[in-house]
Structure 1
Amino acid sequence: MKDGNCDFSPMKQILKEDIRQVIAALELNLEAMSNENDCLLGSFEKIKEQFVSIDMKAATFYLNCYLSPFTDKYPELTISIQNLSNRKHGGLIVIQRQESLETIIQPGISIGAELTHSLLESIFYPGNPLHDGAVLVSQNQISSAANVLPLSVRSTGGKKLGTRHRAALGLTERSDALVLVVSEETGRISFALNGNLYPINNQGLH
């Protein structure tokens, strides 16, 4: 897998420090368990939040690494998904990488325009005839919109996923594409790669 020219050292140091803080918190909980009067539920909740924060921080960093070899439009993509998230406008953006997607995607409407955040946001504006399908990005262009992706049929361990997320997983189970997803219900951002879904920290995108 190509990761671009990412310098992993600073991020690794940040993640190491975050993990050390979690370990320290867990060790404190172990000591506190000797006191039967201590309730640790609140502490466990904080540790869970720390784990989620670490996961999202790492995913945000790696997203740029996975995208940078295949498009120069990372800034435009991040602005668009941030704005979609803030407005709770659903979005599904496919970034084609090395493998062709012609035989996997049901083609929509050809666009053939330079990728800009304003164009992406207008496509996913509620009521736009193209907003329900997936946008296909090839290098620095929006190739097409209103594309239909294959849905994943894999069990998600009882976790209910919306159609956009199932479509993102379905395509990445069958190709090396990377798919950005914005939930219209929650505004949460995630990306799918190799059949896995990763949450993204909106505030950490830049």
Structure 2
Amino acid sequence: MEQKECDFSPMKAELKEHLQKLIADMQQSLERLDNESQCLLGRFEQIRREFAYIESTAASYYLNCYLSSFTDKYLDISIGVQHLSQRRHGALIVIQRNDGLDSLITPGIPVGAMLTYSLMESIFFPGSPMHDGAVLIRANQIVSAANVLPLASVFVGEEKLGTRHRAALGLTERSDALVIVVSEETGKASFALNGKLYPLSTGGTM
């Protein structure tokens, strides 16, 4: 698929706005540091929350940039991930990019259907015969479901990972694939690329 220029202006504008606010808050904290009567611990906690929000918003922005070059259905993926996250339906979604994945993935159930968010959500509905394992997306199609991915190590740093996150990292350590994970325990969504995990914002359109 032809490489596209990344242009998600509203999301970029929001990211700039929050970064500017964070810079202003940090500057204000720096000025207040000389005032010994004011404790800044609560303000640091607020800055930490702002930074976490900015990180997840930035991850959503770049995720759409990465996806738009390889599928025209990135909005369907975004909507589907939001719904899965809200319902706490665990999911593992592989988007193939340049590298072939046949030698890395244990094949599951062929699907061969045009990608829609409703189809993706139905695959990961709890109790569905295809909800375990990963969906493989190539261009605008769901190629297969219930695929098994290679696993990374149990820990990243001091954090113990669940099977879905280990699978996401395991595949992205070995290929340029992008893998989206939704945790059924927390509903939190993230994506893996080049062996690293990034949290996603699912409060609105990603």
TM-score (norm 1): 0.91
Give the distance between the partners of 1:174 and 1:5, measured in 2 at CA: 26
Deviation at 1:202, TM superposition (A): 0.9
AA matched with 1:132: D
| Per-residue Cα deviation, 1:77-119 (whole angstroms, up to 9, x for no partner) | 1121111111100010000111100011111111111111111
Q: Which moved more, 1:111-120 or 1:4-13?
A: 4-13
The count of residues paired between Structure 1 and Structure 2 equals: 205
Task: Mark the CA change 1:40 to 1:3 in structure 2 (over 3 Å): closer, same or farther.
Answer: farther
Partner of 2:195: 195
1:125 aligned residue:
125
Distance 1:201 1:102, change over 3 A: same
Structure 1 residues 94-103 or 155-164, which shifts more?
Answer: 155-164
Shifted more, 95-104 versus 12-21: the winner is: 12-21
1:168 and 2:168 correspond? yes
Q: Normalising by structure 2, what TM-score?
A: 0.91
What's the CA shift for 1:12?
5.5
Kept in 2, the 8 Å contact 1:172–1:192? The answer is yes
- 2:105 counterpart residue number: 105
RMSD of the alignment, in Å? 2.0
Q: Unaligned stretches of 5+ in structure 2?
A: none
Taking only the aligned residue pairs, the percentage that are identical comes to 61
| SS in structure 2 of the partner of residue 202 of structure 1 | coil
Q: Note the alpha carbon deviations across 1:132-171, whole angstroms, 9 max, x for none.
A: 1000011111111111111112741211221111111110
Letter in 2 for 1:205: T
CA–CA separation in structure 2 for the residues paired with 1:201 and 1:10: 15
**Alignment check: 8 A CA contact 1:87 1:187 kept:** yes
The answer as to whether partners of 1:4 and 1:66 remain within 8 angstroms in 2 is no
| Structure 2 partner of 1:96 | 96
The answer (yes or no) to whether the contact 1:3–1:65 under 8 Å persists in 2 is no
Partner-residue secondary structure (3-state), 1:29: helix
* 1:177 match: 177
C-alpha separation in 1, matches of 2:13 and 2:64? 18
Partner in structure 2 of residue 31 of structure 1: 31
